[in-house]
Amino acid sequence: GGLEGDLEHCNALRIRLKGDGRIYYVNLRTEALRQGDLYQTLIKPPAGEWKDFVLPLGNFQLTHYGMINVNGVAMNPRSVVCFGVSIQDGKEGPFELMVGGVDAIRDPSLPELERD
């Protein structure tokens, strides 16, 4: 979904999930990206129990239709416009993922992002 404000003063996302043991991706889209490009990081929520994940913004990799772009530029947190979660494990059939909350945070234990 869309985001209000920006992530300029944040260096991580905190997300609370209960899953089914399958692999999911957290996706961020910025203003400047072309179609098919996303910044993504992988998560595997445990089946049947809530877990809090802290996802450093520096761990999100630029992808093009799910393939890592090795020449990708670093994400500008000020330009993030959309957040989402997707399943891309290639398995057919039902899935279950519950989201208990998403927050943009500043965690002093994490390295700072390079900013423009």
> How many folded domains does the chain comprise?
1
pLDDT-derived band at 33 (thresholds 50, 70, 90) equals confident
When comparing pLDDT for 52 and 35, which is higher? 52
Question: How far is it, in rounded angstroms, from Cα 31 to Cα 79?
Answer: 6
Q: Is residue 115 in a domain? A: no
Cα 105 to Cα 43, 57, 82, distances in angstroms: 18, 10, 16
Q: Is residue 91 in a domain? A: yes
Question: How far is it, in rounded angstroms, from Cα 93 to Cα 116?
Answer: 43
Q: Is residue 83 in a domain? A: yes
Residue-range definition of the domain harbouring residue 34: 12-105
Q: Is residue 34 in a domain? A: yes
Q: Is residue 64 in a domain? A: yes
Q: For the whole model, what pTM was predicted?
A: 0.84
Nearest 5°: CA angle at 81, between 49 and 30? 105
- pLDDT tens for 80-96 read 888 999 998 888 889 99
pLDDT for res 1: 55
- pLDDT tens for 57-75 read 989 999 887 788 877 788 8
